[in-house]
Amino acid sequence: MKRLMVVDDESEICDFLKLFFEDRDFQVTTAFSGLKALEVLDQVKPHVVLLDIHMPGMDGLSALREIKKKLPDCKVIMVTALETRDKIEEAMRLGADNYITKPLSLEYLERDVREKVTLLAKSGKIMNETL
Amino acid sequence: MAFHIKKRKKFLRKALVASTLFALGFLALAVSNFLIQTFLPQASTNAPLLSVLLMALISISTVKPLDKLYAQIFDRYLFKKKSYAHILLMNLADELEVVLDLQELANMVVNTFGEVLQLKTVALLVRASDQEDMEVASAYGWHVSDYRRVRLSRSSPMMALVQASGTHVLVRNQVVQAFSWKEANQLVYDFDLMRASWVIPLFVKSGLSGLLVFSSHKSDRSFDETDFHFFREFGQRISKSIHNAVRVQQLKRLNSELQDSQSQMLQTTKLTAIEQLATGIAHEIHNPLTIISGKAQVLLLQRDKVPLDTRIEEVLKTIVKQTKRAADITRKLLMFSQSSGLSREPLVLSQIIEDTLALVSYQTSLDGIRIVKRLADDVPSFQGNVHELREVFLNLILNAVQALGTEGEIRITLQHVPQDKLIEVRVADTGKGIAPENLDKVFNPFFTTRHSALGLGLFVTKQIIHHYGGSIRAESQAGEGSLFIFRLPLAEIPQAVGSAVPETFSGLI
């Protein structure tokens, strides 16, 4: 089972992404903040994280730093409402694997998430039986 | 009147000479009497004859020097010799006290001085603004392009000399010498041969405020003592006026610098305000748009499992498409507002016009405003900052949109004017136009005829255009719409190479 974590302070966004990816055989965990995501990170061990940049409390960039520290192999796709160059550049420097802007194109997002999972599988980071 | 004074002066002088001679004669008589009685008592019979002889001798030998001495005393202390020229120049000095514009004052000084004294060249040097160097404020008989290049640094030998001596200074080619007026007067006869200039230092309490420099007479006449006394007095009279005018000029310059930085600040704060607004709006709008669009997409992408009514499918597709459109608008607004410094790059102005029109196209199509573009394709790229140029076009186009209200036409023309090396842009609308009394006010900060507007758009526009060395003007016929024309220079005109500086000043540069 491919494990996906969605981190966004908008519960509605978490809801439809969960619905969409569960339909496509993903195991989806949602978190409403960076801190909540880090709390469950060790238990969930997601393959891919969709991480919103603008969140109250711990923002996406700080969360990204922590996630990459705890799970270096985990692929993180930043989700942002704005294409603010400096934020995106910083995210890339911190090791983000891609970014996508809101409103989301689900087709594109699905393709990107699957690509990341395939990359992990090829490099042997995911056991074949779990897929 | 003058004739009478002259006659009386002569009579007075003669009377003084006569009485001095009489006194001297009497003294000589007394002395000779005493001497004769003491040493030659036997020759007393010849005493009157001897005394008269002595008196006559003394009188003849002293009458000329005495007359000259009195004439000098009269001229220097009692009846100062005032020629018509000197009176004119002193009147000028009085007038100068109320002139505050340095350029006007300098022109008055050099022109009057040159004309009245029939000089070949005159120049007024003043301390250039914040630096310590002296610059030519105005010159007579000398070409502007030449004297603009003259600078006299504080460390130049001549300046040191002027500071130290405080007297007239004679500049001779590159060799600089200071002379007292008496010494200088000896040399004044071969002025032309020496290619020299006179320098009158203009002192105020705080130090040297300027220099009045001039060269020889047009005629053969040389200056005399009285002239040099007059120059000194004239210099003292005008130095304060010049000092004040320099101060006023400094104040003016500081004031304009202040205005510039103020407008620059207004511009940046305004941009930052738009940026903040755009960031906030984008964030607040994109999240709900994401939810609307996301949920519609979930349904659409499930249609192989859960079949959809074709009408519902159409509605869902429209929702996805329109949310994307809404997001694009906020994204463009954000792109517009993000100011990334003021770096310049080659810009294709027609592209910037198209981008700007895209931003207002929704508004214009809604209002039924037609947009007519005439963008020439031979326009070279313009070296500028993309955000500043966008701001210019956005302000002018929004201004036109607001002038039109609900219907009308906006005509945008972009063309290259190769002979003037510039790009010309015209933005015309068929709106209500600008009242003639407001035409020169539209570029003022906070000027607006709309209640909801800040009145900074055209002001900022003008600042940006001026920043690039361009110009903007508005034309309007009441009821027939308005036209904004702005011109941007394409490249800096290379500095013209000045012609030769008169030899006399070669030592000053």
| Per-residue pLDDT reduced to its tens digit, A106-119 | 999 999 999 999 98
Question: If DSSP codes are grouped into helix, strand and coil, which group holds residue B478?
Answer: coil
Q: In this complex, do B298 and A102 lie within 8 Å of one another by their Cβ atoms?
A: no
Q: Tell me: the pLDDT tens digits for A35-90?
A: 999 999 999 999 999 999 888 888 899 999 999 999 999 999 999 887 666 788 88
Q: What Å distances lie between residue A69 and A3, A43, B29, B51, CA to CA?
A: 18, 15, 127, 130
Cβ contact, residue pair B327, A12, below 8 Å: no
**Whole-number pLDDT of residue B27:** 85
| Residues of A with Cβ-Cβ distance to B301 under 8 angstroms | 20, 106-107
| Distant-in-sequence contacts of B159-167, Cβ < 8 A, 24+ apart | B159/B134, B159/B208, B162/B199, B162/B201, B162/B208, B162/B211, B163/B207, B163/B208, B166/B201, B166/B203, B167/B201
B370's torsion region: left (phi>0), alpha (psi -120 to 50) or beta?
beta
B492 CB-contact burial (10 Å; exposed 0-12 / middle 13-18 / buried 19+): exposed
- Name which of A82, A83, A85, A109 to mutate to probe chain B: the one with the most chain B Cβ atoms within 10 A of its Cβ: A82
Place of tokens 């004769």: B36
| Sign of the CA dihedral running A94, A95, A101, A106 | negative
Q: Which among B281, B291, B334, B386 is the top mutation candidate for probing chain A, defined by the most A β-carbons within 10 Å of its own β-carbon?
A: B291
Topology adopted by domain A2-130: Rossmann fold (3.40.50)
The Cα B368–Cα B359 span in angstroms is 16
Q: Judge contact between B247 and A46, C-beta under 8 A.
A: no
- Asked if B199 and B211 count as a contact pair (C-beta separation under 8 A), the reply is yes
A1 and chain B in contact, CB less than 8 A: no
Q: Is A86 on the interface with B (CB under 8 A)?
A: no
Cα A131 from Cα A2, distance rounded (Å): 6
Residue B32 in contact with partner chain A when CB distance is under 8 A = no
Q: What is the DSSP letter of B217?
A: B
DSSP per residue, A78-112? EEESS--HHHHHHHHHTT--EEEESSP-HHHHHHH
Tell me which residue in A17, A81, A83 faces B287 most closely, judged by beta carbons.
A81
Task: Give B-chain residues touching A81 at CB under 8 angstroms.
Answer: 282-283, 286-287, 290
Residues in B touching A83 (Cβ below 8 Å): 331, 334
Partner residue facing A104 (CB), from B279, B294, B334: B294
Cβ–Cβ < 8 Å for A26, A4: yes
As given in the structure block, the two tokens for residue B75 are 């001229």
C-alpha B46: how far from chain center: 85
Amino acid at B435: A
pLDDT of residue A31: 94
A131 and B CB contact within 8 Å? no
Q: Do A82 and B283 touch (CB under 8 A)?
A: yes
Q: Does any CB of chain A come closer than 8 Å to the CB of residue B334?
A: yes
B287, B292, B329: best to mutate for the A interface, most A CBs within 10 A: B287
Q: Answer whether B107's CB lies under 8 Å from B138's CB.
A: yes
Are B486 and B423 spatial neighbours (Cβ–Cβ below 8 Å)?
no
Alpha helices in B167-306 (DSSP H): 181-187, 191-194, 225-301
Chain A residues within an 8 Å CB radius of B297:
20, 104-107
A13–B286 C-beta distance less than 8 A: no
Q: Which helix (H) or strand (E) holds A40?
A: helix A34-44
Domains located in chain B, CATH noted: 2-78 (no CATH), 84-254 (3.30.450.40), 340-489 (3.30.565.10)
pLDDT in the model for residue B191: 43
What is the C-alpha separation between B224 and B213, in angstroms, rounded? 17
Interface contact flag, B293 A103, Cβ < 8 Å: yes
A28-to-A65, A104, B498 alpha-carbon distances in Å: 21, 17, 78
pLDDT tens for each residue of B413-466: 999 998 888 999 999 998 888 888 777 778 876 667 665 555 667 877 888 888
How far is Cα B297 from Cα B458, in angstroms, rounded to an integer?
A: 44
Q: Which of B435, B436, B454, B432 is nearest to B445 (CA)?
A: B454
Total residue length of chain B: 509
Q: Which of A16, A55, A107 is the mutation pick for testing B, counting most B CBs within 10 A?
A: A16
B282–A82 CB contact, under 8 Å: yes
Residues 6+ apart with CB under 8 A from B43: B36, B50
pTM assigned to the model: 0.43
- pLDDT the model gives residue B507: 40
B181 and B168 Cβ atoms separated by less than 8 Å: yes
The radius of gyration computed from the CA coordinates of chain A, to the nearest angstrom, equals: 13
Contacts of residue B324 in chain A, CB cutoff 8 Å? 103
Burial B353-380 (b: 16+ CB within 10 A, else e): bebbbebbeeebeeeebebeeebeeebe
Q: Are B448 and B454 in contact (CB under 8 A)?
A: yes
Contact A106, B301 (CB under 8 A): yes
What DSSP state is assigned to residue A1?
Answer: -
DSSP-based three-state secondary structure for B492: coil
pLDDT higher than threshold 70 for residue A7: yes
Establish if A104 touches chain B: CB-CB under 8 angstroms.
yes
Is the CB of residue A16 less than 8 Å away from at least one CB of chain B?
yes
Residue in B279, B292, B302 closest to A82 by CB: B279
The span from the CA of B249 to the CA of B321, in Å, is 62
Residue with tokens 């207002």: B360
Cα separation, B128 vs B250, in Å, equals: 9
Q: What pLDDT does A117 receive?
A: 92
- Where in chain A are the domains? 2-130
Neighbours of B274 (CB within 10 A): 18
- Picking from B294, B237, B264, B279, the residue whose alpha carbon sits closest to that of residue B105 is B237
Residue ranges of alpha helices (H) inside B368-438 are 386-404
| A69 at interface of B, judged by CB pairs closer than 8 A | no
Asked whether the CA dihedral B127, B130, B135, B136 is positive or negative, the reply is: negative
Per-residue pLDDT of chain B (509 residues; tens, 9 = 90+): 444 556 777 788 888 888 888 888 888 778 877 877 787 766 656 667 777 787 788 888 888 888 888 877 776 665 555 577 788 888 888 888 888 888 888 888 888 888 888 787 788 888 866 566 778 888 888 777 666 666 777 776 667 777 766 655 555 544 455 555 555 555 544 444 444 567 778 888 777 778 888 776 555 556 666 777 788 788 888 888 888 888 888 888 888 888 888 777 776 666 566 666 667 777 788 889 999 999 999 999 888 888 888 899 999 999 998 998 888 777 766 666 665 556 778 889 998 898 888 877 766 776 778 889 999 988 898 988 888 888 889 888 888 888 887 788 899 999 999 888 899 999 999 888 888 877 777 887 666 766 555 566 787 788 888 888 899 998 887 778 899 999 999 865 443 333 334 444 444 43
| B383 token code pair | 């070296």
Q: Which residue has the tokens 């954000």?
A: B334
Q: Pick from B192, B204, B275: which is nearest to B236 by CA?
A: B204
CA dihedral of B395, B400, B404, B406, whole degrees rounded to 10: -50
Chain B: nearest CA to A12, how far in angstroms? 6
**Nearest-angstrom CA–CA distance, B465 and B263:** 13
The per-residue pLDDT for B6 is: 63
Which positions in chain A touch B386 (Cβ < 8 Å)? none
Contact A103 B323 (CB under 8 A): yes
Q: How many helices (H) and strands (E) does chain A have?
A: 5, 5
- Say if the ipTM goes beyond 0.95: no
Distance CA B115, CA B94 (A): 18
